[in-house]
Amino acid sequence: MPVSPDFLDYVLEQLHPLGGITHRRMFGGVGVSHHELFFALIADDVLYFKADATTVPEFEAAGCEAFKPFGGDKAMSYWTVPLEALEDPDEMTAWTTRALDAAMRAKASKKKR
């Protein structure tokens, strides 16, 4: 799951307008957070955003794919970002908002337990 420095720089540049973006290497990939809220990961030079039951249909409709780090049918709750979002700042903002909302819902759900 290597991440090239060029791709990492590109993604961070796209997310920079949000402010508060941090990243760290993990398990061969990179985790991305916004003000300490983990909402994205990068693996094999592919950006994945957090998704949940509310947003998965939107990711599916956009032709995105679930992150399957071990192959097979086991997927994590992260989905590829549509290519147009990587090229359009407004689209990136919209998809980032979906991911942040999903991450906030997941965090709130964990606190209730």
Tokens linked to 14? 């796209």
Residues 15-65 have pLDDT tens digits of 999 899 999 998 889 999 999 999 999 999 999 999 999 999 999 999 999
Closest CA to 95 of 32, 3, 28, 43: 32
The whole-model pTM stands at: 0.91
Tokens 């983990």: give the residue: 38
Q: Are 67 and 78 in contact (CB under 8 A)?
A: yes
CATH says 5-112 is which class?
alpha beta
Query: Left (φ > 0), alpha (ψ -120 to 50) or beta: where does 105 sit?
Result: alpha
Residues 58-107 have pLDDT tens digits of 999 999 999 987 777 777 899 999 999 999 999 999 999 999 999 999 99
Whole-angstrom distance, CA of residue 2 vs CA of residue 51: 22
